[in-house]
Amino acid sequence: MMRSESRALQLNDQGQLKHFLTLDGLDKSILTEILDRADSFLSMGEQSVKKVPLLRGKTVVNLFFENSTRTRTTFELAAKRLSADVINLNIETSATSKGESLLDTLQNLEAMQSDMFIVRHADSGAPHFIAEHCTPNVAIINAGDGRHAHPTQAMLDMLTIRRHKQNFEGLKVAIVGDILHSRVARSQIHALNTLGVDEVRLIGPKTLVPEYFKEMGAKIYYELENGLEDVDVIIMLRLQKERMKGALLPSESEFYRLYGLTESSLAWAKPDAIVMHPGPINRGVEISSEVADGEHSVILNQVTNGIAVRMAILSMAMSGQLQEKESQQESEQQTSTMGEFN
């Protein structure tokens, strides 16, 4: 999908989010608005009553066609803290396991007056297809689709970086590991470049870091030491063995020796560098326990920030959908009135 088409599908006529499918096509002002709104929600976690009524009376459906712990749980928490009613559809026991098509399932849920679908799917482009062809009047949030995108994860990572580094300008950010299969990395590259970092570096073996990522505005390094030199932020990625076909790696121990983040390899980065990981972590494969639990690690901050970012995105998308429906109703009323005069 072209950037302009992606933007048009995600935004209403007033330029507000109505779906959140990908970061491709969204400009700096929208990403900054998400971060600013998420910042305002962060303090809620410290309050005794962790709720605001922004989505009161709205129904949010979690549709996870792939396994998830952090993402599904933080989306559920985010929706509940916005006072929405939340339904977690168990795909394995739903009618889809009895042969019902995805389209029929979604249209039945829409007929139940659902207001938002949070979708994770193994097929790249599934949330786009749903937003464009299945249920355009229901807000669609992409919780990860195939290798394509994981925009809410990228935005919680951007919030984590901003809260620790204040600004994006001048930052050098390294993303390390299985870039090939990572929807997170693709979304992170879009977000980092849109927000104006100085440099995005991709580090890993040639089998897992294809040359075409240069076209997305990233520099590629095949040696960890060169890639980590003077970086401000290190984002480690999980080896996605379930998506690997063929001999892409000699062994996990060999990968750890060459690309695993340890206290000694961390020393190649700047002294105040922060270490991130989207989870789940494979300790001793991508990162050592000493680094994952050490003073440079902000991995648990990412989880906390994930709730606030998802609250921001849910509230913005719902507001954009309501604005579009009101505009459509006004347009229909004007057309009807003109018809009466004619």
**For residue 171, what pLDDT is reported?**
98
**For residue 44, what pLDDT is reported?**
83
Identify the CA nearest to 203 among candidates 169, 226, 184, 230.
Answer: 226
**For residue 242, what pLDDT is reported?**
54
Query: What integer is the mean pLDDT of 258-286?
Result: 95
Question: In this predicted model, what pLDDT tens digit does every residue of 212-221 receive, in sequence order?
Answer: 999 999 999 9
**CATH 3.40.50.1370 in the chain, residue ranges:** 3-149+303-321, 151-298
Higher pLDDT, 105 or 322: 322
Count the helix, strand and coil residues of the chain and give each as a percent rounded to the nearest 5: 50, 15, 35
Question: In this predicted model, what pLDDT tens digit does every residue of 300-339 receive, in sequence order?
Answer: 999 999 999 999 999 999 999 999 988 887 777 777 666 6
| Sequence-ordered list of residues with C-beta below 8 angstroms from that of 159, at least 6 positions apart, any chain | 35, 38, 39, 305, 308, 309
- The CA distance from 320 to 299, in Å, is 31
Question: In this predicted model, what pLDDT tens digit does every residue of 1-51 receive, in sequence order?
Answer: 556 678 889 999 999 999 999 999 899 999 999 999 999 999 887 888 889
Q: What is 151-298's CATH topology? A: Rossmann fold (3.40.50)
Query: What integer is the mean pLDDT of 227-243?
Result: 87
**In this structure, is the dihedral angle defined by the CA atoms of residues 270, 271, 272 and 277, taken in order, positive or negative?**
positive
Q: Residue 108 — φ and ψ, nearest 5°? A: -65, -40
DSSP class of residue 134? Answer: I
**For residue 99, what pLDDT is reported?**
58
Which CATH number applies to 3-149+303-321? 3.40.50.1370
